[in-house]
Structures are given as C-alpha cells and as structure tokens.
Amino acid sequence: EPGGLLGPVAIRDLAQRLDVRPTKTLGQNFLHDANTIRRIVRTADLTPDDVVLEVGPGLGSLTLGLLGASAHVTAVEIDPRLADQLPHTVADRAPELADRLTVVTADALRVTELPGPPPTALVANLPYNVAVPVLLHLLELLPSLRTALVLVQAEVADRLAAGPGTPAYGVPSVKAAWYADVRRAGNVPRPVFWPVPNVDSGLVALTRRPHPPGDRAATFAVVDAAFATRRKGLRAALARWAGSPAAAEQRLRAAGIDPTTRGEQLSVEQFARLAATEPAGG
C-alpha cells in the first residue's frame, strides 16, 4: 500500500506473526482497507498541529494514517501484544513518523492521565462493547479534546447523534450533546474489517461545545432518572429523584416543562435547566 498503510495481506501476516487471534470480548475487528483509512483521516479534518488520541490502535492501520496527518499520536491499547508491536510496525512502514508516536498499554476506561502533549482530537475505531463509556470518559477527562471522530456500531452511532423526540434518542444522545455538537459522518461497510463483524458500522463526529449547558453531574443524574422508566411521564419518572411526585412536578414547572412530557422529548438544555431548579424545601 502507498503511504505505508496496511492492506489485507499485511494485516493477516502481522496477526499471524504475533499469533493474534482477534477476540470478540475486546472488540477486535481490524481495518484493512486503505481507502477507508484515508476517508476516516480526511473526515477527522486534522491540522498538522493536532495531537491525536487513538483508542485501540490494534495492528496499527489507522495509526499509520493518523501519524501522517498530525503532530503526534498517543495510542492507548489494552492488549499488550498489540501495544508492544505498534512502535515496530510504525518503524517498519513509516520510519520518518516513528518519533511522533506514544503508546500506552492501558484500559481506556481506566486511564486518569496520559503522557505527552494534551490531545486535541480523538480519532478511533472503538471497541464496540465499550464505545459509549470510553467516549464519555475521555471527553470528561481531557478538556483539551476539541473534536472527536469515532467509528462505532451503526446503531450506537445513530443513538449518539439522535435529537429529542426521535426513536434513537436516549441517555447516550443527551450525555454526548452535553459535551459536543454531534453528527453522523457516514457508514463503513462490513468487508473492510477483519474479521468481518456481524453488525454495521458508522462514523460519528463531535465538536466540543465551548459552553456546556449547566452542571454536568447534576444534569446527568436527572437524565439517568428520566430514562430509567421509559414509558412514564416525567412527573412519575422523576419522583424518586425529586423526593416525591409533587416535588418533581414543582421542579418541572419551575423549569418550564410540562410534567406529563416524557424524557425522550427533552433537549439537554432542558435537562440542565431542570437540574438547576431548587430542590423542594431547599
């Protein structure tokens, strides 16, 4: 492949040499299509000053593309065999870019700090079973992240980008919208992965909001409560959160929200306003 990108043959060779059998539990589906890599890198819209955080570099397909389009890539990989190999792969395929790479062997859900310069952009083909928690954890941990482009299960991509009142709207949509403007950025066909996954995949692009709407913890608490009992109106769904149905109704009215509305109808701004109302008796 031109540009040192990994194609299908190189991916299988590398996996065989490392004796890596991709595991489902770690969501190991590796990209082996240079056109897809180029498309993801283009969509990420990086500048030469960007410091990229990549979660789950795997065999390095996307990493190689990202190194060429940014100042630095910090790659967090949970699988030590893959993490240990990555610098060698880069040294083999793109030696001139090797000093731009920092590899961290860690669970992205548990990292609390990263070595190297603060990342400005998250770009990742995320492990699908933990995609939403990883994304939210990193947006919270790293205020330096201005943008994110993540490849996730198509259904999850739809959920992340959904707006109020649409069928896919739920907790991930509201929480992602607290941090960022979120949009779908296309789909990625199954055959570009090895092994071929049994779900469709899609890209989601996030741009951090300079002014998030209100207190995060308080907003997330009311969001979790509102969606815990999906079919109830908010007066009932928020009874425990507020202390009683009457207290819930009072706070909903104080926020200008009809108490018979359901959580699926509210924007993140409305949830934040609701979270900011005075608790009953307070």
Q: Is 31 annotated as a binding residue?
A: yes
Query: Residue 40 interacts with ligand SAM (CB under 6 A)?
Result: no
CB of 10 to ligand SAM, least distance (A): 12
For 211-272, give the DSSP string: S-SS-HHHHHHHHHHHHHSTTS-HHHHTHHHHSSHHHHHHHHHHTT--TT--GGG--HHHHH
Query: Residue 62 interacts with ligand SAM (CB under 6 A)?
Result: yes
Q: Given the complex with ligand SAM, which of 165 and 195 has the nearer CB atom?
A: 195
Stretch that binds ligand SAM, among 51-59, 160-168, 215-223, 232-240 (CB under 6 A): 51-59
Tokens 């492949």 identify what position? 1
Name the residue type at position 18: L
CB of 178 to ligand SAM, least distance (A): 22
* Residue from 135, 159, 160 nearest 148 by CA: 135
Taking CB positions, which residue lies at the least distance from ligand SAM? Answer: 56
Query: Residue 119 interacts with ligand SAM (CB under 6 A)?
Result: no
At a CB cut-off of 8 Å and minimum separation 6, what does 278 contact?
Answer: 251, 254
Q: How far apart are CA 63 and CA 7, in angstroms?
A: 13
Q: Between vectors from CA 36 to CA 128 and to CA 74, what angle results, nearest 5°?
A: 60
Site for ligand SAM in 81-110 (CB under 6 A): 82, 107-109
* Residue from 2, 117, 18 nearest 59 by CA: 18
Q: Given the complex with ligand SAM, which of 78 and 272 has the nearer CB atom?
A: 78
CB of 204 to ligand SAM, least distance (A): 14
Q: Between vectors from CA 243 to CA 242 and to CA 246, what angle results, nearest 5°?
A: 80
Q: Is 62 annotated as a binding residue?
A: no
Q: Site for ligand SAM (CB under 6 A): which residue of 10, 52, 55, 86?
A: 55
Note the residues at the interface with ligand SAM (CB under 6 A): 26-31, 55-59, 61-62, 76-79, 82, 107-109, 125, 127, 130
